[in-house]
Amino acid sequence: MDRPIPESKAAPPDEIYGERYVRPYAALYIDHPLWESKLQLNVALLSRLLKPLGNWLDTCCGQGWHLAQFPSHRRMGIDRSAAQLEQARLHNIRCA
């Protein structure tokens, strides 16, 4: 009954989410025709959850697009991808 767990042949996360992923990410999500309506829905939901001028930690923040919608909040994002975090920094100049 006990079978060994097969080794994964998937590329390591650093290769998958590296610098080459930045452009396709934007094309798949940000530039998608449904992005704006999805973003507005998410912003409305988050606005109800966040306390005015509160602190926000966005895990798996990607390029920080949701963080950028709340410039009056103290924001911090974390992500596995250094390349995505660099984009998040560009979109959130005044983040803490």
Q: Is the pLDDT of residue 86 over 90?
A: yes
Q: Considering only CA atoms, which of 50, 43, 53, 78 is closest in space to residue 64?
A: 78
Residue 63 one-letter amino acid: Q
- Provide the b/e sequence for 58-84 (b: ≥16 CB within 10 Å): beebbbbbbbbbbeebebebebebebb
Q: Secondary structure of the chain: what % helix, strand, coil (to 5)?
A: 45, 10, 45
| Mean pLDDT confidence for 41-69 | 87
Structure tokens at 62: 């990607």
Q: Is the pLDDT of residue 81 over 80?
A: yes
